[in-house]
Amino acid sequence: MRFAFIDVWAPVRRALYLTHRWLGILGCVLFVLWFVSGLVMLHVRFPTLTQQERLQQLTAMDLGSIRVSPRDALERVGVVNPRSVVLEERGGEAGHLVWRILDQRGGHHAVSASNPSASNAPFSPADGQVVAQAFGKAPARYIETKERDQWTMPNAGPFDKARPLHRFALDDAARTELYISAKTGEVVRDTNAYERGWTTFGTLLHYYTYGPIRQYPDFWRQLVLWTSGIAMFVAASGLIVGTLRVRIRRRYRSTASVTPYRGWMAWHHVLGLVGGITILTWVFSGWFSMGPNKWLSYQTPSTLPARFAQAQPVFLHRLESLQQMAASNQAVKAIEAGWYDGHPVWTLFDGAGSRRTVDAISGESISVRREALLKAAAAAYPSARVEDARLLTEADFYWYSRHAAPVLPVWRIKLADPASTWLHVDAVSGRLLATSTSDSRLRRWLFNGLHSFDFPFFMKTPLWYLTIWALSLTGLAASVSGVVIGWRRLRRPGQSVEA
């Protein structure tokens, strides 16, 4: 029986060795690229313009210049049930305020709040230059108008329907470039030379998001899935082969070591065993991030925020309540017209990250109550029972942000429904910020947890950086040794590559 088992296992093991040997050449090249680009990404992120960064650059508003109500602005663009309605300074023209409207399909609209007779004509490059100079605090030079380019293809969901975009270069030390929507005049992205240079070898290399590839979404997705799938097999087969070939107690006579190999082969064997589990989990989580076979893809309805706020079809916000604040000398950078407990409210934002909410009829400050949020949850999910409602004052495993502080405090409302839905609600405005399901929370661990070690109390600490660097360098060394072995094998087929 023993000899029969060996006869069956021997060809399988031989096939595993050969497959790992030849696929490993491609796999190790991929691993080298991913480890190098991953370390770059650790310190230089893809260029983006956060809401807080944008608010800091805006001019404080003159609330006494408002002449157009949210209701009138919505009627002018034909939007009935918007996702958001925000008032802010347009930039470049003192006292010129605009309503920025986002509809349910993601469409962007802008209506002058200071001039009732202003047209909604497209934003020209000349208009954009004025805005760019005011926003960037430097002279601006118009470059081009395009639907998309290298820096506005990936991670562009929030402004995808604000295209085409005017691109401007600022005359500053950082060589900043701004992208401004030709539809609304809103600055949607900024980049600088440092980001553009390093990201070429960081995010773009890591995710293959170079323009000629990323412009074909289906091809790009399949490329990521197949290369990461091959790399997964290489990592898994390497762990199996490496384990079969290692001897802990009874060392090899030829090398007096745990490995039968010498030179580069020995380094590859040992380092592959040390870093193999990390390599495998990283490549698996990267592969899984592409949503293969639409696993864990349940999404909540896009109309939920409006249902949760119990918004009325007609905006009842009164401009008098805003104009009364004009004499208070508050440095207000943006005001969102929203709803809380079925009543119209204003949420005021400054450039420092703080916000407060007032009644849009009386102008009095409001306090978000737990009972009102539970009523809103019951209205949005009539068939679900509220299981738990808790006020969060600090980040936790599911409410956190990798690059900026998350909105806090928030209410976390857990529902007893088939999707195990959680709602995160702003405790200052009562606005629904995000929803999650059991699918998305599991995805959070299978991608963010495995790939980036996104644990709120560990992330961005010195120990987190040290851990990522140590594991990455171990994996990089194992991969480089594999590339050297593969190169030598391709140059001299049939000869030893252990030297």
Residue 479 clears pLDDT 90, i.e. is over it = yes
Is the distance from CB of 441 to CB of 379 less than 8 angstroms?
no
User: For the chain, what are the domain ranges?
Assistant: 2-44+211-296+462-491, 51-201, 304-436
pLDDT tens digits along 402-450:
878 889 999 999 999 888 999 999 999 999 999 999 989 999 999 989 9
Q: What is the full DSSP assignment across 393-410?
A: SS--SSS--SSSPPP-SE
C-alpha–C-alpha distance, residues 65 and 118, integer Å: 14
For the stretch 276-301, what's the b/e string if a residue is b when 16 or more beta carbons lie within 10 angstroms of its beta carbon? bebbbbbbbbbbbbbeeeeebeeebe
pLDDT tens per residue, range 236-283: 999 999 998 888 888 887 777 888 888 999 999 999 999 999 999 999
> Whole-angstrom distance between the N-terminal and C-terminal Cα of the chain?
40
* Residue 406, token pair as written in the block: 């998350």
Q: How far apart are CA 434 and CA 425, in angstroms?
A: 7
Alpha-carbon gap, residue 177 to 196, rounded angstroms = 10
User: How far, CA to CA in Å, does 205 sit from each of 39, 213, 434?
Assistant: 11, 11, 30
Three-state DSSP state, 136:
helix
Each residue's pLDDT tens digit, 54-107: 988 888 888 888 899 999 999 999 998 888 999 998 876 666 899 999 998 889
Sign of the torsion formed by the C-alpha atoms of 403, 407, 410 and 413? negative
- The answer to whether the beta carbons of residues 479 and 32 sit under 8 Å apart is yes
Pairing of strands 108-112, 140-146: unpaired
- In three-state secondary structure terms, 95 is coil
CB-CB contact of 340 with 357 (8 Å): yes
pLDDT tens, position by position, 480-495: 999 999 998 888 766 6
Please spell the DSSP secondary structure of 298-342, one letter per residue.
----TTHHHHHHT--SS----HHHHHGGGGGT----EEEEEEETT
Q: Is the pLDDT of residue 9 over 90?
A: no
Tell me the C-alpha distance between 166 and 164, whole Å.
7
Q: Name the pTM for this structure.
A: 0.89
Instruction: Note whether 194 and 44 are within 8 A (CB).
Output: yes
Rounded CA gap, 68 and 112, in Å?
7
